[in-house]
Amino acid sequence: MALLQIAEPGDSAAPHQHRLAVGIDLGTTNSLVATVRSGLAVALSDELGRPLLPSVVRYLADGRCEVGYEAQARQAVDPRNTIASVKRFMGRGLADIAHREALPYVFQDGCGMLRLHTAAGLKSPVEVSADILRTLRQRAEASLGGPLVGAVITVPAYFDDAQRQATKDAARVAGLPVLRLLNEPTAAAIAYGLDNAAEGVYAVYDLGGGTFDISILKLSRGIFEVLSTGGDSALGGDDFDQRIFCWILETAKLKPLSVEDASMLLTRAREAKEYLTFHGAAPVTARLNSGEVVDLTLTTETFAEITQTLVAKTIQPVKKALRDAGLSVSEVKGVVMVGGATRMPQVQRAVGEFFRQEPLNNLDPDKVVAIGAATQANLLAGNRAAGDDWLLLDVIPLSLGLETMGGLVEKIIPRNATIPTARAQEFTTFRDGQTALAVHVVQGERELVSDCRSLARFELRGIPPMVAGAARIRVTFQVDADGLLAVAAKEQTSGVEASIVVKPSYGLSDDEIAGMLKDSLAHVRDDALRRALKESQVEAQRLIEAVRSALKADGDLLAADEMARVENGIIRLQNATLGDNRRQIVLAMDDLEAETKDFAARRMDKSIRRAFAGRHISELDSEAAVATTGEVA
Amino acid sequence: MDFNADHFSLFELPRTFRLDAALLERRYLQMQLLVHPDRFASAGDAEQRLSLQWATRVNEGYQTLKKPLLRAKYLLRLAAHDLGSENVPADFLVEQMEWREAVEEARAAGQHHELEHLHHRLKRDIVERHEELALLLDDQHDLGQAADRVRRLMFLDKLLVEIDEAIAECEE
A251 within a domain of the structure (yes/no): no
Q: Do B7-66 and B90-171 show the same overall fold?
A: no
Q: By CA distance, what is A416's nearest residue in B?
A: B63
Beta carbons of A53 and A46 less than 8 angstroms apart: yes
Active site residue: A66, A87, A123, A232, which one?
A87
Beta carbons of A376 and A182 less than 8 angstroms apart: yes
Half-sphere exposure at residue A97, Cβ-oriented, CA atoms within 13 angstroms: 25
Q: What is the pLDDT of residue A517?
A: 58
User: Chain B contacts of A381, Cβ < 8 Å?
Assistant: 41-42
Closest CA to A162 of A454, A479, A457, A410: A454
Distance (Å) from the C-alpha of residue B116 to the closest C-alpha of chain A? 11
Beta carbons of A23 and A377 less than 8 angstroms apart: yes
> What's the total number of domains in chain A?
3
Measured distance CA(B127)–CA(B140) in Å, rounded: 19
Measured distance CA(A323)–CA(B164) in Å, rounded: 8
Distance (Å) from the C-alpha of residue A429 to the closest C-alpha of chain B? 22
A436 with A552, same domain: the answer is: no
A628 within a domain of the structure (yes/no): no
Q: Which of residues 388-407 of A touch B (CB under 8 A)?
A: 389, 391-393
A388 with A431, same domain: the answer is: no
CATH assignment at residue A482? 2.60.34.10
CATH assignment at residue A213? 3.30.420.40
User: Chain B contacts of A379, Cβ < 8 Å?
Assistant: 38, 41
A367 carries an active-site annotation = no
Active site residue: A46, A206, A232, A366, which one?
A206
User: Chain B contacts of A481, Cβ < 8 Å?
Assistant: 36-38, 52, 55
Q: What is the pLDDT of residue A500?
A: 64
Does the beta carbon of A414 lie under 8 angstroms from any beta carbon of chain B?
no
A96 with A172, same domain: the answer is: yes
Residues 6+ apart with CB under 8 A from A56: A67, A68, A71, A72, A75, A82, A83, A84
A294 within a domain of the structure (yes/no): no
User: Chain A contacts of B29, Cβ < 8 Å?
Assistant: 220-221, 223, 225, 391
Distance (Å) from the C-alpha of residue A479 to the closest C-alpha of chain B? 9
Domain C-terminal end among A345, A364, A392: A392
A323 within a domain of the structure (yes/no): yes
A346 with A487, same domain: the answer is: no
A87 carries an active-site annotation = yes
User: Chain A contacts of B56, Cβ < 8 Å?
Assistant: 420-422, 478
**Residue A223 is nearest to which of B29, B164, B171, comparing CB atoms?**
B29
Measured distance CA(B147)–CA(B152) in Å, rounded: 9
A174 within a domain of the structure (yes/no): yes
CA angle A175, A178, A181 (to 5 degrees): 135
A138 with A181, same domain: the answer is: yes
CATH assignment at residue A564? 1.20.1270.10
A49 with A68, same domain: the answer is: yes
What domain range includes position A556? Answer: 524-608
Question: Is B56 in Cβ contact with A421 (below 8 Å)?
Answer: yes
Question: What are the 10-residue block averages of pLDDT along chain A, 633 residues in total?
Answer: 32 55 96 94 94 96 94 90 94 86 86 88 94 96 89 94 92 90 95 87 95 94 93 92 94 86 90 94 90 92 96 95 94 95 95 96 92 95 77 94 87 94 89 87 88 85 86 90 89 77 54 62 57 72 79 87 89 86 86 83 65 43 34 30
Q: By CA distance, what is A445's nearest residue in B?
A: B165
Q: Which of residues 37-56 of B touch A (CB under 8 A)?
A: 37-39, 41-42, 52, 55-56
A72 with A207, same domain: the answer is: yes
Relative to beta strand A150-155, strand A121-123 is unpaired
Does the beta carbon of A309 lie under 8 angstroms from any beta carbon of chain B?
no
Question: Is B36 in Cβ contact with A481 (below 8 Å)?
Answer: yes
Q: What is the pLDDT of residue A120?
A: 93
Question: Is B168 in Cβ contact with A323 (below 8 Å)?
Answer: yes
User: Chain B contacts of A149, Cβ < 8 Å?
Assistant: 42
A366 carries an active-site annotation = no
A556 carries an active-site annotation = no
- Which residues pair with residue A437 across a beta bridge? A460
CB count within 10 Å of CB A601 equals 11
Task: Give the containing element (helix H, strand E) for A79.
Answer: none
A23 with A116, same domain: the answer is: yes
A339 with A412, same domain: the answer is: no
Question: Is A391 in Cβ contact with B32 (below 8 Å)?
Answer: yes
pLDDT per position as a tens digit, B99-122: 999 999 999 998 889 999 999 999
Q: What is the pLDDT of residue A8?
A: 35
Measured distance CA(A380)–CA(A28) in Å, rounded: 25
A2 within a domain of the structure (yes/no): no
Q: What is the pLDDT of residue A260?
A: 84
pTM: 0.79
Q: What is the pLDDT of residue A460?
A: 84
CA angle A262, A263, A265 (to 5 degrees): 65
Per-domain boundaries in chain B: 7-66, 90-171
Measured distance CA(B152)–CA(B94) in Å, rounded: 12
Q: Which of residues 128-167 of B touch A (CB under 8 A)?
A: 164, 167
Q: Does domain B90-171 have CATH number 2.60.40.1930?
A: no
A514 within a domain of the structure (yes/no): no
Task: Tell me which DSSP letter residue B86 carries.
Answer: P
As its CATH architecture, domain B7-66 has Orthogonal Bundle (1.10)
Active site residue: A46, A78, A184, A324, which one?
A184
Beta carbons of A78 and A264 less than 8 angstroms apart: no
A interface test, pick of B59, B164, B167 with most A CB neighbours within 10 Å? B59
Question: Is B167 in Cβ contact with A391 (below 8 Å)?
Answer: no
pLDDT per position as a tens digit, B45-75: 778 888 899 999 999 999 999 999 999 999 9
